[in-house]
Amino acid sequence: MEEQSKPGKLNVLIGTSGSVATIKLPTIVQELSKYEMLEVQVVTTPSALHFFEPSQLVTAKGEPVKVWTDEEEWQSWKKIPDPIVHIELRRWADVILVCPCSANTLAKISNGLCDNLLTSLIRATNPKDTPVIIFPSMNTLMYEHPLTRKQIKIVAEEIGIEVNGPISKTLACGDKGLGAMTEWRDIVDLVVTRFLTKKMSIGNTYLVESCRGQRQ
């Protein structure tokens, strides 16, 4: 793998899937990058690329953010002991977010499918060791479907993945109701308050306020 972990930094791996809420991804990435003790990389599904261009993902300083695709999973491996991308990414990450998590990706995760880089990554991750948080985003009727309730229960109770959201608002399709992804500001705040401050407090006396002071 060409991307290596930097000592002392919180490594945040963001998976994104084919939901219109993916248009919020550039903002989430840029806001997280303002914290100098935090490193971000992105894993995208093919359908998510309908909503953003990898070149849109840049840090607050304008530097490109690494975006991993399905193609790289296979291009990097030719023979033993070549690196396996989804395993190397699991080792790199301190926390994994799937935002947004589409109905399709939710169904795949709950059933253990690993047919792309993102689902392979999730299948290879033990949430007890590396926290995994999904942020569902779908139409209200899709969210209220009986299968969705079952899948969320499996993901949360049997696999141990945290489910955050969705929230109620006017959706991209014009419908009003439950199904929108958690607000991007709340996603950023969750990462900072729950994970970055903990990472920085190990071996020192940093508090939430000092973490926020690390913004570039």
Give the Cα separation of 49 and 191 in Å (integer): 24
Range with lowest mean pLDDT among 18-22, 82-86, 103-107, 118-122: 82-86
**Residue in 197, 206, 184, 215 with CA at minimum distance from that of residue 25:** 184
Measured CA to CA, the distance from residue 179 to residue 170 in angstroms comes to: 9
111 in any annotated domain: yes
Closest Cα partner for 138 from 108, 99, 179, 101? 179
Q: How confident is the model at residue 205 (pLDDT cuts 50, 70, 90)?
A: very low
Give the three-class secondary structure for 111: coil
Residue 31: phi, psi to the nearest 5?
A: -65, -40
- Asked if 173 is an active-site residue, the reply is yes
- Report the number of distinct structural domains present in the chain: 1
Question: What's the mean pLDDT in 190-203?
Answer: 85
Is 3 inside any structural domain? no
On whether residue 5 sits in a domain, the answer given is no
Q: Work out the number of other CB atoms within 10 angstroms of the CB of residue 186.
A: 14
Residue 206 confidence (pLDDT) = 46
Res 8 pLDDT > 90: no
For residues 53-58, give the mean pLDDT. 96
Catalytic residue from among 99, 101, 114, 173:
173
User: What are the pLDDT digits (tens) for 160-178?
Assistant: 999 999 999 888 888 888 9
Could you list the residue range(s) of the whole structural domain that residue 146 is in? Answer: 10-212
Mean pLDDT, rounded, for 27-51: 97
Question: Distance of alpha carbon 206 from its chain centroid, rounded?
Answer: 25
E strand map for the chain = 10-16, 38-44, 67-68, 95-101, 132-136, 162-163, 167-170, 176-180
Report which of residues 146 and 200 the model is more confident about: 146
- What pLDDT, on the 0 to 100 scale, is given for residue 149? 96
Q: Is residue 2 part of a domain?
A: no
- Is residue 4 one of the residues assigned to a domain? no
Tokens representing 133 are 């948080």
pLDDT of amino acid 214: 52
Is there a domain that residue 84 lies in?
A: yes
Indicate the DSSP class of residue 166: -
Distance CA 129, CA 126 (A): 6
List the structure tokens of 12: 């945040």
Whether 137 is covered by a domain: the verdict is: yes
Q: For position 44, which CATH number holds?
A: 3.40.50.1950
What is the C-alpha to C-alpha distance for residues 158 and 206, in angstroms, rounded to an integer? 35
> Chain-wide mean pLDDT for the chain?
91
Question: Has residue 1 been placed in a domain?
Answer: no
